[in-house]
Structure 1
């Protein structure tokens, strides 16, 4: 008792000192921020009306409801119309600035890049699946991941059209040509892109299109299809975790496939077999280089992304993480782009006819890489699809330091905005790309001709921008462009069915909720083939 009486004054002094120090620090920080705000003429943006102005629980409930109803992007678009192109709101107590101002996006993604990060919630939400890679990390780890990956998207790899052609042939083999049978191109495009991506990354394709083609053949393994299903299920679960924000750390994987296995475990097991092989390849390469010398060591017959990673590290977990991060982008973005594009093409025979006219110069043969890049109208169609249906329709950055956005504050929306550390900045390319004051009165209309002579900046962000701009964008555009050319060559016409309206399905990318159901009429049906 006496000891407690002796210690109590010191404990009381420590508590009071700590409280005073905290008050002093907060006072200094407040005065400093007020000075910065005053000197730079900063004003707050318009605030969204909330029933819960402390945590913004009603905002979370509304977003969850609209997401379930497949109207998340429609809801966000309406909010921008209501409050302007920049406004503030709350999500679970975290202050949010919603903005579609190109100047602000340039600041967040480029000029003030070091003031922003992905934030602390993406890793808890996606790390169980994707690990630590280019899409889930910040800082030094992200920089190292990007430096490791970027050289593998050099022109020689991107231009390997022979590899793409082999998978396009598998696609063409499963497509009906009678002009009457309905088929979901979106589902097949996802098979095409996972087949080509796994071939490029692992050196062996998942061959999901072949499995569909030979589904009645008992000798045909189902390993690739099981992996693809597990990958999709794990990805969908990731999205639900992302939407939970800070609560994601409390969630556990539950998504299962087939015989009840966890989807994440199926994906990791499938990829690990290739990682193990790549590390063995690296060890044998080291032995050959030791025996023959680096200059005389044998060269590979074909390029394998995974083998190049193994040359840089033998950390199996690191290799797997980087592979899954790249696979996520390589598969989903390209498949979504193709599905969204062909949904429109099936309802726009005028655009289809112009594509056929442009590509007729090939006289039925497959294009070279240079020819593919030279098709202007094809490029306009890809650009326009990415504008009206951007494959990454919404994104977020978290301020890691006190910083500013150049516009959006005050009644006029022209004043700078002071952004406190810990504030999330959310931008929505889906609504940005449909701003009528930027793109014209027909901003909601698919019109490829708008791209003739058009030069764009930060008002067009299909692949993000700044230091984190997508390293694989040329690979994606090459694959999408090549697949489109080959489809145009092989089919005289396509007709959309099962509804005229496109409805959003937002996972980690954006595609059509109902798929892309079409009827295809091949050149061999009713007329000679060119």
Structure 2
């Protein structure tokens, strides 16, 4: 055989081998799982097979759909359709390079997050999120997570977070921005994200970034942070969806966004460390210290309290960024969905406004955790908004050992006349070590089995 013929065969063989692997690897994965389930059929509680949805080849069509619907901002309705296509609460889905288990069954979600919590970890989350969030409470697990939780939990008592005067000041700034629009259309969601970053930075870091009023000149990247933080988070979501291939999503622009966010937070960390050093150098008398502590309780600063636990700038930055993410996005998202729904349902808006005026009047002086509890219709509006539009609509864990979900597997007894037998399954689901489990409260909160048609 001539050298040219050899190279011709080699050139042809490469793509053919790759194409074969794209089909053979998923076949092997599928048959291996089915064999593992079959080997356990003699157990006291023999597992069953959840319905399987294939995405041939190699899970690529599903991955393309995820990207397409994410771009349209309709990913959750698309995921909901997947569940409805099988008329079951737990499914096995071929994703890019593997088969995952997806569930909206509350019993299975309880097992993942509570009953069998030690059987799961965050999977690839740390690697995917590390460029922005570092080693914080949302990325660490095991001992690192426990240490973060122990360090952060004391900072969030009811007394510490009731700083309504600060919130009122920023809300008034928001209203002035809306009034300055002179009747033009206003993007409330964008303004809510500015509002919550302003309130969160004041509560967490002691000084607002003031995005609603042009940016705080004391803070590095104060004007650029909002865009960088939003863009970096969107990129993190893309990395996370790539699963084990998350490192493929890494660009210079992404790294620059992360650097901007870290430099922004470093400015606050430096200010907090300087405040702590100043207090130590002053050497106040005990009486003056007690007065200062009383003032601090009235004007609580999360980062100042965290400095008492650690003076490591990187630890402070990573934890601060993690908490800032939660403090900004959750509240801004909830506010956006509430106002969206109030615009659609004017009767609800009218009733809610009347009840708020009845309970609180036009000033926040009577607001407190206790008085808010008495405003039941406000609670109903918030709860129903969170049901339909949960802040974290879906999440995932990875099995660290062979384990089981309590139900979702199908067997001969699943074909009974009881509709719940087919929908929820009558057998446990075997979860091999390394399997990714996705769970969706978005799908659960819209499930006709619980909420009606």
Fold shared, TM-score > 0.5 on shorter chain: yes
Deviation per CA, 1:392-431: give whole Å up to 9, x if none. Answer: 1111011111111111111431211111111111111111
Q: Separation in 2 of the partners of 1:189 and 1:306?
A: 23
Q: Which residue of 1 aligns with 2:18?
A: none
Pick closer, same or farther for the CA change 1:418–1:294 going to 2, 3 Å.
Answer: farther
Pick closer, same or farther for the CA change 1:180–1:278 going to 2, 3 Å.
Answer: closer
Q: Which residue of 2 aligns with 1:142?
A: 145
Which residue, out of 208, 211, 222, partners 2:211? 208
1:278 matched to 2:276? The reply is no
Which residue, out of 242, 250, 255, partners 2:253? 255
Q: Which residue of 1 aligns with 2:339?
A: 342
Superposed displacement of residue 57, structure 1? 2.6
Q: Which residue of 2 aligns with 1:111?
A: 115
Q: Separation in 2 of the partners of 1:418 and 1:51?
A: 23
1:393 matched to 2:387? The reply is no
Which residue, out of 26, 50, 53, partners 2:55? 50
Which residue, out of 229, 232, 244, partners 2:230? 232
1:102 matched to 2:102? The reply is no
Which residue, out of 438, 442, 445, partners 1:430? 442
1:151 matched to 2:154? The reply is yes
Deviation per CA, 1:16-48: give whole Å up to 9, x if none. Answer: xxxxxxxxxxx9xx9899348622221111111
1:40 matched to 2:45? The reply is yes
Q: How do 1:19-98 and structure 2 match up within 5 A?
A: 34-35=39-40, 38-52=43-57, 55-83=58-86, 84-98=88-102
Unaligned stretches of 5+ residues in structure 2? 1-31, 415-421
Q: Which residue of 1 aligns with 2:325?
A: 328
Q: Which residue of 1 aligns with 2:17?
A: none
Q: Which residue of 1 aligns with 2:375?
A: 375
Q: Separation in 2 of the partners of 1:181 and 1:204?
A: 31
Q: Separation in 2 of the partners of 1:103 and 1:164?
A: 38
Q: Separation in 1 of the partners of 2:38 and 2:265?
A: 49
1:420 matched to 2:414? The reply is no
Q: Separation in 2 of the partners of 1:37 and 1:99?
A: 25
Q: Which residue of 1 aligns with 2:356?
A: 359
Q: Separation in 1 of the partners of 2:74 and 2:401?
A: 33
Which residue, out of 101, 126, 129, partners 2:129? 126
Pick closer, same or farther for the CA change 1:220–1:143 going to 2, 3 Å.
Answer: closer
Pick closer, same or farther for the CA change 1:32–1:233 going to 2, 3 Å.
Answer: closer
Pick closer, same or farther for the CA change 1:69–1:178 going to 2, 3 Å.
Answer: closer
Pick closer, same or farther for the CA change 1:233–1:168 going to 2, 3 Å.
Answer: same
Q: Separation in 2 of the partners of 1:220 and 1:132?
A: 26
Q: Paired residues, what number?
A: 400
Q: Separation in 2 of the partners of 1:307 and 1:171?
A: 27
Superposed displacement of residue 271, structure 1? 1.1
Structure with the higher fraction of residues in helix conformation: 2
Q: Separation in 2 of the partners of 1:187 and 1:82?
A: 35
SS in 1 for 2:224: helix
Q: Which residue of 1 aligns with 2:6?
A: none
Q: Which residue of 1 aligns with 2:21?
A: none
Q: How do 1:6-21 and structure 2 match up within 5 A?
A: none
Q: Separation in 1 of the partners of 2:36 and 2:263?
A: 55
Deviation per CA, 1:359-401: give whole Å up to 9, x if none. Answer: 1222322142122232100011011111111121111011111
Pick closer, same or farther for the CA change 1:93–1:163 going to 2, 3 Å.
Answer: same
Unaligned stretches of 5+ residues in structure 1? 1-26, 442-530
TM-score (structure 2 length as normaliser): 0.82
Superposed displacement of residue 94, structure 1? 2.8
Q: Separation in 1 of the partners of 2:209 and 2:182?
A: 29
Which residue, out of 244, 247, 259, partners 1:246? 244
Q: Separation in 1 of the partners of 2:151 and 2:103?
A: 32
SS in 1 for 2:308: helix
Superposed displacement of residue 89, structure 1? 1.5
The 8 Å contact of residues 336 and 391 in structure 1, kept in 2 or not, is answered as: yes
Q: Separation in 1 of the partners of 2:185 and 2:96?
A: 45
The 8 Å contact of residues 211 and 222 in structure 1, kept in 2 or not, is answered as: no
TM-score (structure 1 length as normaliser): 0.71
The 8 Å contact of residues 219 and 267 in structure 2, kept in 1 or not, is answered as: no
Superposed displacement of residue 49, structure 1? 2.9
